[in-house]
């Protein structure tokens, strides 16, 4: 059976139309521009994954399946492992500051999640036909080399504190438990990741969950302000089950992709117990089954 992205590509479908039909698109910064970029040649894109645990979970599969689909359309995905940004901690969607992980714990987590990308992305460039090979990069490779004063002068000057404080993530935290200085810098570092990948790899698209919209658009703006470049952002909606549970979670905890953290039986049970109301939607997002087979 041919995969859905392969069939759509053969039919001349624009990747944006495919992603929207499969349920992946909530917002795009410049849809017309991104649509044209997809039609003009190979687009290099990235999605970031902070190493906050030893395994990815079922919720992470949403973005992984999306960038895998884009690779099957002939584009080049970068899976960005957040070895550097994990040391800071993303405040998005958090009521209080994340517990800071040790460097040793982060490195151990990175080992665990790297192997999981191999199941979904082609790092050799041969699995899906003529697609470019995917890249797996650790942002610690450049973030840990930054010098504070040059970074503030070259990058920090492009950010407005007023705009950052107006962001929902920061505003909510300031009104409740407060926001630490280290967390306040997360958006700046994620934006710099995008600028670095734009400069070094020609990356012009960042994807992520809807909670990352502010961070992603900040990166798009930084590329424009710092280099006069054109870049795009695309976010997927928050995926919940029909009974309101966040995707990737169950009553017993996270649906880890690592068999050492969750038994294959329990993982299987999570999917086989999907309610009828969710089956078609989940088949479109979490498999490559063609639409006419769903």
| pLDDT above 80 (res 247) | no
| φ, ψ for residue 231, nearest 5 deg | -140, 170
| 278, two tokens | 């969710």
Distance in angstroms (rounded) separating the CA atoms of residues 182 and 201: 28
Residues 89/183, Cβ–Cβ less than 8 Å: yes
pLDDT of residue 97 exceeding 70, the answer is: no
Q: Give the phi and the psi of residue 2 in degrees, each rounded to 5.
A: -70, 145
What is the pTM assigned to this prediction? 0.93
Q: At what angle do helices 61-72 and 276-286 cross, to 10 degrees?
A: 50
| Domains with residue ranges and CATH for the chain | 4-239 (3.40.50.620), 248-281 (no CATH)
251 has pLDDT over 60: no
Q: Is residue 50 very low, low, confident or very high in pLDDT (cuts 50, 70, 90)? A: very high
Task: pLDDT band for 249, please (50, 70, 90 cuts).
Answer: low
Give the CA dihedral 84, 55, 235, 242, nearest 10 degrees.
-150
User: Cα(16)–Cα(94) distance, rounded to whole angstroms?
Assistant: 30
Element (H, E) at 205: strand 203-209
pLDDT the model gives residue 253: 76
pLDDT digits (tens, 9 = 90+) for 11-48: 999 999 999 999 999 999 999 999 999 999 999 999 99
- Taking only the tens place, the pLDDT of each residue in 108-145 is 999 989 889 999 999 998 787 778 999 999 999 999 99
pLDDT of residue 61: 94
User: Residue 289: enclosing H or E segment and its boundaries?
Assistant: none
> What separation, in Å, do the N-terminal and C-terminal C-alpha atoms of the chain show?
13
């Amino acid at each position: 059976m041919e995969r859905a992205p392969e069939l759509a590509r053969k039919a001349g479908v624009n990747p944006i139309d495919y992603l929207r039909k499969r349920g992946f698109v909530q917002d795009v910064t410049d849809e017309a521009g991104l649509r044209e970029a997809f039609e003009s040649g190979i687009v290099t894109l990235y999605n970031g994954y902070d190493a906050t645990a030893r395994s990815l979970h079922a919720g992470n599969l949403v973005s992984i399946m999306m960038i895998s689909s884009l690779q099957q359309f002939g584009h080049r995905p970068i899976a960005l492992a957040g070895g550097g940004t994990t040391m800071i901690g993303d405040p998005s969607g958090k009521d209080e500051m994340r517990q800071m992980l040790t460097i040793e714990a982060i490195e151990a987590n990175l080992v665990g999640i790297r192997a999981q990308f191999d199941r979904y992305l082609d790092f050799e460039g041969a699995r899906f036909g003529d697609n470019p090979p995917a890249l797996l990069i650790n942002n610690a490779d450049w973030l840990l080399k930054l010098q504070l004063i040059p970074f503030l002068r070259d990058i920090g000057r492009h950010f407005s504190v007023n705009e950052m404080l107006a962001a929902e993530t920061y505003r909510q935290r300031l009104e409740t438990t407060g926001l630490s200085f280290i967390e306040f810098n997360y958006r700046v570092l994620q934006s710099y990741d995008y600028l670095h990948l734009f400069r070094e790899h020609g990356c012009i698209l960042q994807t992520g969950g809807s909670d990352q919209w502010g961070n992603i658009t900040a990166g798009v703006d930084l590329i424009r302000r710092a280099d006069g470049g054109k870049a795009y952002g695309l976010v997927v909606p928050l995926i919940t089950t029909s009974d309101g549970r966040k995707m990737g979670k169950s009553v017993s905890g996270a649906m880890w992709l690592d068999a050492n953290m969750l038994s294959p039986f329990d993982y299987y049970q999570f999917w086989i117990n999907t309610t009828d109301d969710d089956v078609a939607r989940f088949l479109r997002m979490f498999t490559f089954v063609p639409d006419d087979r769903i």
